[in-house]
Homo-oligomer: A and B are copies of this chain.
Amino acid sequence: MCEVNKENFGILYQDIKQSIKNAKFVSIDLEFSALYPLKSHMPSLFDEASERYLKIRRNLEHVIPVQVGLTTFSFNPDSGSYLGTVYNFFIIPASFPTLQNVFCFQSETLEFLRFHGFDFNRLIYKGIPYMNTTQENELRKKLQNNEISEVMSNFKSELQNVFEEECEAINKWYGNAKEGDYISLDKIHDKYKSNIDIIYFLHKGFRAKFKNTWTRANNYEFILKKVSSEELKLLKKEKNLEEELLDELLGSQKYSGY
């Protein structure tokens, strides 16, 4: 069994794709946060198929899958046997201002997951974030229209503090810095690297505040670099902060930093 989380999804992605391609058949299994959270839509023995479908659907609108199991079965003609490869995905709704994801948990479901040793910290700390297509398109539009500002962040005061603090450090460095020089902002990396929201607004804030600079973050560091106007123009054309943010909120690990 292979656990897939936000840290290794990018690395495993091609393998998983290939494994599906080679499969004769696949099976999918989901663990949910609740089954029938709506008292008004409980199943009944006397439901017709259409009624039951509607009830399940209405209930599922308030439920998230907390784990997706995918097993691909490939056939080995020499041995005449099937080989099953199991992937277990932890997934969790993306969090970003205006997304407003609300979902239900049921005590019985928690009890069931607990009984089977489910790791809730892995779900919440390492789960692959996702949005549905409607959310993705709406968020893209809002980002393009500059409708989302840092004051809408859940971490507003945290953001303000770290921004002001780091601006002081950057200011000291900026005067003597030459084109090509960069400064590594370790505190940001160490404390905030897994907070998509804070990291995005810091990129945006620094780039706006300091002329001819570019920021970049990856698993190892958060840096701010002094660049020429030409390089800046090129970078802006090549790398779109908002598209990279959307990729990240979709669990995509293809980028290597902004």
- Residue numbers of A with Cβ under 8 A of B are 33-34, 37, 39, 92-95, 99-108, 110-115, 119-121, 123-125, 154-155, 194-195, 197
- Residue of A92, A101, A154, A195 most packed against chain B (CB within 10 A): A154
- Quote the shortest CB–CB distance from A253 to chain B (angstroms): 19
| Number of copies of this kind of chain in the complex | 2
User: How far, in angstroms, from A125 to B117 measured CA to CA in the complex?
Assistant: 9
Q: A113-B124, A115-B155 are in contact. List 5 more A-B contacts (CB 8 A).
A: A33-B105, A95-B107, A100-B106, A102-B105, A114-B194
User: How far, in angstroms, from A110 to B93 measured CA to CA in the complex?
Assistant: 10
Closest to A101 in B: B107
- Quote the shortest CB–CB distance from A164 to chain B (angstroms): 19
User: How far, in angstroms, from A197 to B112 measured CA to CA in the complex?
Assistant: 11
User: How far, in angstroms, from A108 to B203 measured CA to CA in the complex?
Assistant: 20
B106 touches A104 (CB 8 A): no
Residues of B with C-beta under 8 A to A37: 102
- Pairs of residues from A and B, 8 with the lowest C-beta to C-beta distance, nearest first: A95-B107, A101-B107, A120-B120, A95-B111, A37-B102, A108-B154, A121-B121, A93-B107
